[in-house]
Structure 1
Amino acid sequence: MPSLIIVDDEAIFRKGIRLMIAEMQSDWYVIDEASDGAEALEKMEALQPDLLITDIKMPRVDGIQLQYIVKERYPHVACVVVSGYNDFQYARESLRLGAKDYLMKPFQREELYALLHKLQEEWHLEQKPTKENGKDLLLQNQMRQHVLTGLLTGNVHHGETELLENVGISLPHTYISCLIAKLDRDSVTDERYYQLNPALFSVYIQQFIQESLNESLHSYVFIHHENEVVALINHDSLDTIVAEIEHITNQIRKDIRVQSNFTLTFGLGSPAKDLESISKSYKEAGLALLYRLVIGGDRLLSNESVTEIAMEKQERQAADWQALNQFVQEGDLANVHQQTIHYVSALCQQWKDPEIIHQQICKMLLHFYELAVNLAIVKQWLQHTEVKQVLVDIYSYSSSKELTERCQQLLGDLTQCIANRKKKFVTSPIEIVVRYVEEHYAESITLNMMAEIVYLSPSYLSSLFKSKQGLSFIDFLTEKRIEKAKSLLLYSDEKIQSISDSTGFTNIRHFNRVFKTLTNRTPSEFREGKGAVGEL
């Protein structure tokens, strides 16, 4: 029998609908009631209803927000919306979200009965395939989430297009830009925030952004961590994409502020040309978001806009900044301490507003945080502290002496980390990577692994490697493996399967495909033709 939950903040209305349904001749039964969307979501996990009959205007989570979240978490659950507010905007929004119908209060008993009879017939016809498809969809969504997370961390590269296809990810356009959205926590009261499961805000934001982006851009929107919604936007244009994303995010912020009474801040990274570079775009978007602490939220912060903010300094400050930056990178601890005193003193003398002083110091620290990210020494520098917390703490210092001592400590620790790192390198990090590949090509090798070995971030190593070698790390590794495979095909009697295994390929199918792409012949054709003159 199909079940339903009635959601309305008026108990008398809930009881009235329950009585109507009990008196009608149907298979429907009311499994429970809820006084608002938040309570309904708590009950849905355990009760798994087939239908929601929900009001629009309710405290905490209203009917529109409830539909967004249900559409993401329980796509098989049907919704019927009822409201006393004769506003077509609500009806249109609900129907766009997939509501089966929209009834105006007070509605006639016959209207409800006719609708439930229709839904009952649909339920009987579609019940089994819907549940089976729902399970398949859930499994694919979980796999897709795993792969999308891998793109953010740099663990998925261009040689794994088959993996993307298997989980339903298609990236037909040239570039991928990473957009991160975060709730502005200060726009939500503590009472409202903690009454709900905070994760529900992210689910709501995810669905809202996906709906908005789908109208004009090819994208994948998902929750990464509990409080971060990420959109990977696939596009061809470089000239207009930032303006287009800014227009869309401005509309999203406006709509959410009006409908749900909270605000968002977006961070946008620069466009990536390949899968390996997506992690760099993600880090840039995250870094841009950190500037919310400096200039406030409820806006789009891009990599370009952050660069402009970082450059907004007086000439005298610029000279201090340049000197401080030079001493830190040279590992000159004594001069870093001295220059930090000079820098903070100059700030306090020039600006009488504590807010501006704190902002300038946060900008300076964000610059050095970006440096630490590129050198892959953030953990050594900040230990177990998040950079966001470091910036928040800066605002708690009310005297120049406290600010100076804290900056001396932070920049001194960073200087020491850079000095220790330099001692480990006599050879160029690129030479170390090249030598490692030549010696270990038969093993599993990733860009992240190499980055750890040479103490660089994966995105920075990827960029540095390509500038020095003329091709990406993955292309270099692949070509090295194919070179070894060619030699074995010509000068040994090993089976092709064995050669595939011994040159680091995960399976024979992948080996055959890559070999033919690079040589225009299959391994068998290459062996039979004994290669080409001068090929090895």
Structure 2
Amino acid sequence: MYSLLIADDEALEREGLELMIRHMMPDTFTFLHAENGRRAIQIAEEKRPDFIFMDIKMPGIQGLEAVREIMSKDPAAKIVIVTAHDYFSYAKEGLALGVRGYLLKPASTAEVQDTLTTLIAEWEEEKRARNDQLALREKLSQLMPLAENELSLMLMLECVQEVELEQLAGLLDLQWHKGYAMVLSYSRRTKKELETFQLVKKEIYEAVKQMAKPNLSCMVSPVVGYQMALFIPFPPGKPAYSQRVVSLEWGEKIRCFIEERFQVPLSVGIGSIREGWDGMNRSYREALRVCADDSDIVSVRHYDDITQSLGRKIISLDDEKKLLDALLRFDKQDTTERFSLLFDRLEQSEPRSFPRLRGEVVGLLLFLSRGARLGDGAELISTLGAAEDAETLRSGAVLWLGTLIDGMKEEKEQSRSSVLQRALLYIDEKYKEDISMEQCAEFVNLSPYYFSKLFKLQTGETFIDYVTRLRIDEAKKLIAEQNLSLKEICYEVGYNDPNYFSRVFKKAMGIPPSEYRQQAGAKSLFI
């Protein structure tokens, strides 16, 4: 039931209106009465009625004053002005305040019923809208963690397209211009460490989220293998160096917290502050490369500290791009040779730290995986992360690169095959019509030039030769059936000019269609 407040200084008016409404809309309303404006305001605040019928002229606080007071506290209140005075100024002022209707005393039953029906419809629609909004908010609250996981995994595992990143970032309302990554790498050098981590990794994940998100406003990735990542926005207006110090302090806080609470050794790597989502991905790879091990000076390491102390960056962007170019050309030999040179350089720069070497190599291969838009980053981290010596790491990486090239080739061939199959089906359906190569190319969303080359490569025929062969084969079948004239067959197989059809047929079969028909008829006599 709905609640209706009737505000009028005349008791008979209130009771008469209630009686009228009860009679025409039984079991629909509970009624509240107010004898003046002050009481109407009090009841509206205390009871929050669904609808209010407000008389204009009452002692003390006038009806419009009461409307103004109620609407100031509840702008969505559904109020109808009821008055015996047919003054346009009242209606105008009431509408300006936001009232939903205007009834002139004595109002007829039909007018009152129409007004209430309209108010109820509005109320129900707003209720549905509120419920839909709440349901949507509930769904979004459930989807937000999944979207955050997906976005962070895209940045970690390289399985990313720019539009997907932007869509997820928009869903999460992330507007980061700059940021950096922090990688937490959990030790599993001994069987005991491995078993301990497996038992508590879910608790570790929740603990890191509870600690990091409120303090760093960051995204927290799921645990992938034995690692997880934090993607942290760079606060505007702060010097980069001071932020580096802050990030190291937080890295140490997290490390101490995890080791003390869960007895799981942890090393932390932190990447440079970079712009955009591509920059965040590069920062992640930097953090991955410098995850510390016990043989180093500290267990929390910043990429900028390491490169400054080495005096150079081990692998340049140009080196990475040349290696990626060889990979995208499917050149296994060039890819292997370029990778081996970079591997030797990395090995020489990290002679005493195999974990650091492993991090560098995995980071490099993740970059290649993303550039090729193929490969499973999680599997890569898991497989090469298990390598315990340089030779195993090198051979595993070379094998992975070869497999990646094979996968790219296969995907390309499958894509070409799929395009060709769609084209052939389209031609089979349309060859009896006035079909062109340009139409077919548009259908499979390729340029005519590329489609022409691909079609000849895959079928061994030009587009025209293929369509002509289909038409001539169909014409031969129709001629042999002896049911249609040659002119009818010409039009049936897609030609508009019988003379042109005759020339094409003769070129393909060596004889004109009329002679072919005679031979076909002669053969049928002996069957």
What's the TM-score once normalised by structure 2's chain length?
0.36
What's the TM-score once normalised by structure 1's chain length?
0.36
Which structure would you say has the larger Rg? Answer: 2
